[in-house]
């Protein structure tokens, strides 16, 4: 294996199929698809010599079809033209054999074709790969959240013991964040520019001034499943892509947080991993079962997000009408998205082998009675004790504390016996608030979205 990129080498088994959306072959096929779709739309205007019945049939058959041999032919033509879209046009002239070949690419600029091709590819990737993967992830998290909705779980703020929670509620936090982004991702519409060499429709408007080319452009872009950009330079302004990259970056951020927390939970022994037969965790330490999938995900998310931020910045800037730098940068979009896809697959794999050690988690919660000080000072405030927070702070802060110490302090107070009884019966594992209710609400909302 001599591939430069790990996406094409080490991880080809996971992301290799994404070449359907991000490869040079995929881009050229999408360009041909835009060209022939435009040819059919132009024919409907009856402004130019009409396609024959046989020609229309050949053109329709060409949509979405580009064999490896045909792609190789385009690349051969490109060696002479040194222009990819022109090579695409010349190839279609050969392939379609029209009586009037000038109809192909009539009045277009190359960026009209390329930006629409990208829009088609990214729409398909989002619908066929990205959202289904996100749904799989949310479904698995929801299953775990349902299972452990009531399971007491240690919480930490600043790395220190804090008011307990349940494991289901902690997972629900990630579910809620991912569902929000998933809904936004589903609603998002990719945009398309179709207005000629400097965004003025000049070529078409000069050739046939009586035709409404703005309306034609809008209908054509919409026919490709994209939203028209009303006013542009030669190129797509990049704002729509930046919005999409922002969504992907936010999903990456949620997964990054999930990876970090799962790593910590495993490190503390609250969550355990299943040992896979034959797997090795260290070349020298046979006992190790490492959280490698969460670590792998974290690394790929870092690469993806860095690229997405760079793309968002670069593609929203251009010298005057355009320069060629955006073209080369756009070719890395698939790399950024593939690293995000790979990361999510690794997170799924990591989640697939973990479980909650309920006894260990419960014991860890019970071992931190100091977390009850929040409950104590709140209830004591309610019965009118003067500044219970300060009294508890002086008695407990920075000290090793046993439940008996807390009880002894409580008994010394002049407060109603019913209040004392209530607090003396309270255990850390009871002090999880409305965690289970919150968890079930989030899961129900997630299930509702997954059912659509």
Cβ-based neighbours of 32, under 8 Å, separated by 6 or more: 62, 66, 88, 91, 92
Is-catalytic flag, 25? no
- Total number of residues shown for the chain: 452
| Residues facing residue 161 across a β-bridge | 156
Name the region of 23 (left: φ>0; alpha: ψ -120 to 50; beta: rest): beta
Residue 392 to residues 102, 156, 383, 427, Cα–Cα distance (Å): 86, 19, 15, 17
φ and ψ at 236, to 5 degrees?
-55, 135
Residue 105 to residues 36, 323, 356, 376, Cα–Cα distance (Å): 9, 21, 60, 76
Residue 234 to residues 129, 194, 239, Cα–Cα distance (Å): 31, 9, 14
Rounded distance between C-alpha atoms, residue 270 and residue 262, angstroms? 9
3 state SS of 161: strand
| Of 52, 67, 223, 282, catalytic | 282
Q: 52-91: buried (b, 16+ CB within 10 Å) or exposed (e) per residue? A: eeebeebbeebeeebeeebbebbeebbeeeeebbebbbbb
Rounded distance between C-alpha atoms, residue 35 and residue 89, angstroms? 8
Is-catalytic flag, 293? no
Rounded distance between C-alpha atoms, residue 440 and residue 142, angstroms? 9
| Residues facing residue 391 across a β-bridge | none
- Which one-letter DSSP state was computed for residue 372? G
Helices (H), 67-166: 68-81, 84-96, 110-125, 131-147
| Of 2, 158, 283, 328, catalytic | 158
Rounded distance between C-alpha atoms, residue 167 and residue 176, angstroms? 14
Rounded distance between C-alpha atoms, residue 249 and residue 343, angstroms? 12
Active site residues: 158, 282
């Amino acid at each position: 294996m001599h591939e430069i990129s790990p996406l094409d080498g080490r991880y080809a088994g996971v992301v290799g199929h994404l070449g359907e959306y991000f490869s040079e072959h995929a881009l050229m096929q999408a360009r041909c698809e835009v060209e022939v779709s435009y040819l059919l739309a132009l024919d409907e205007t009856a402004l130019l010599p009409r396609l024959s019945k046989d020609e229309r049939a050949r053109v329709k058959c060409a949509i979405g079809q580009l064999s490896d041999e045909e792609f190789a032919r385009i690349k051969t033509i490109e060696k002479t033209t040194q222009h990819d879209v022109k090579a695409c046009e010349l190839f279609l002239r050969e392939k379609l054999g029209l009586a009037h070949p000038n109809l192909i690419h009539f009045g277009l600029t190359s960026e009209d074709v390329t930006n629409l091709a990208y829009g088609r590819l990214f729409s398909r990737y989002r619908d066929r790969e990205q959202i289904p993967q996100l749904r799989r992830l949310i479904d698995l998290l929801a299953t775990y959240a349902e299972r452990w909705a009531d399971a007491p779980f240690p919480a930490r703020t600043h790395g220190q013991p804090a008011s307990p929670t349940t494991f289901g509620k902690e997972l629900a936090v990630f579910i809620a964040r991912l569902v929000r982004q998933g809904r936004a991702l589903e609603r998002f519409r990719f945009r398309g520019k179709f207005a000629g060499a400097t965004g003025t429709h000049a070529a078409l408007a000069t050739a046939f001034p009586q035709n409404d080319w703005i309306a034609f452009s809008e209908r054509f872009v919409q026919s490709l499943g994209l939203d028209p950009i009303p006013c542009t330079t030669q190129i797509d302004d990049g704002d729509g892509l930046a919005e999409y990259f922002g969504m992907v970056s936010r999903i990456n951020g949620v997964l990054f947080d999930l990876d970090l927390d799962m790593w910590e939970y495993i490190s503390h022994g609250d969550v355990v991993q299943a040992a896979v037969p034959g797997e090795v965790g260290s070349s020298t330490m046979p006992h190790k079962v490492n959280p490698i999938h969460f670590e792998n995900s974290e690394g790929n998310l870092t690469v993806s997000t860095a690229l997405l931020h760079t793309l968002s910045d670069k593609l929203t800037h251009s010298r005057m009408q355009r320069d060629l730098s955006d073209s080369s940068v756009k070719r890395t979009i698939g790399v950024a998205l593939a690293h995000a896809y790979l990361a999510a697959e690794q997170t799924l794999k990591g989640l697939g082998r973990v479980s909650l050690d309920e006894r260990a988690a419960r014991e860890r919660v019970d071992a931190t009675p100091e977390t009850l000080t929040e409950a104590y000072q709140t209830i004591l405030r309610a019965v009118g004790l003067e500044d219970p927070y300060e009294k508890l702070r002086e008695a407990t802060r920075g000290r090793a504390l046993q439940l008996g110490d807390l009880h002894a302090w409580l008994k010394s107070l002049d407060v109603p016996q019913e209040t004392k009884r209530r607090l003396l019966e309270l255990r850390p594992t009871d002090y999880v608030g409305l965690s289970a209710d919150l968890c079930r609400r989030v899961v129900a909302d997630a299930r509702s979205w997954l059912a659509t």
